[in-house]
Amino acid sequence: MIEKKDYQGPLYAPHPDLYEKRRQLGLHKNSSNVPPMKAPIGTYAEQRKERLQSIVDDYLQDPDVTSVMLYEDMKDCLEDIISYHELNKRKAQDILEYMAGKVATNVDTDSGSVNTYEYATDITMQDISNFQRGNSL
């Protein structure tokens, strides 16, 4: 029988009594009785629902969280998603307009004040050549 003493080892090491209990249960090192890790199963939709359920459960289990806090956090998340997609929609529209030759714009800016310049679509290569020689457009 192992004499029980107060464990004074590092906090991350298992308690010595644990080794004896594992031997009794047949779970000692290199045992084939250790069950394999649970692999994710189910469709993507099922996994997504399980993640959502876990998050909602996290809110419900916290004694400091109210239902209003859950509601407000969900609302904030949805507003963030909407804002993100509006910004990317605007960037995509700017790129499309630039490709169509309608405007020149800085499509990488995140600010609302985007610099735009009207394209001089009526200028020909002959006009550019004349300008380089000192003639005005």
Tell me the pLDDT tens digit for each residue of 47-100: 999 999 999 999 999 999 999 999 999 999 999 999 999 999 999 999 999 998
**Does 2 fall in a domain?**
no
Q: How far is CA 97 from CA 8, 45, 70, 76, 101, in A?
A: 71, 37, 41, 32, 6
Tell me the pLDDT tens digit for each residue of 117-136: 555 566 777 777 777 777 66
Amino acid 112: pLDDT: 52
**Does 75 fall in a domain?**
yes
Count of structural domains within the chain: 1
* Domain span holding position 115: 66-137
**Does 72 fall in a domain?**
yes
**Does 117 fall in a domain?**
yes
Question: With 0-12 CB in 10 A as exposed, 13-18 as middle and 19+ as buried, what is 94?
Answer: buried
**Does 4 fall in a domain?**
no
**Does 88 fall in a domain?**
yes
Tell me the pLDDT tens digit for each residue of 20-56: 677 777 666 654 554 555 566 788 899 999 999 999 9
**Does 96 fall in a domain?**
yes
* pTM for this predicted structure: 0.43
Please tell me the distance from the alpha carbon of residue 3 to that of residue 17, in angstroms, as a whole number: 10
User: What 3-state class would DSSP assign to 103?
Assistant: strand
**Does 107 fall in a domain?**
yes
56, 67 contact by CB (below 8 A):
no
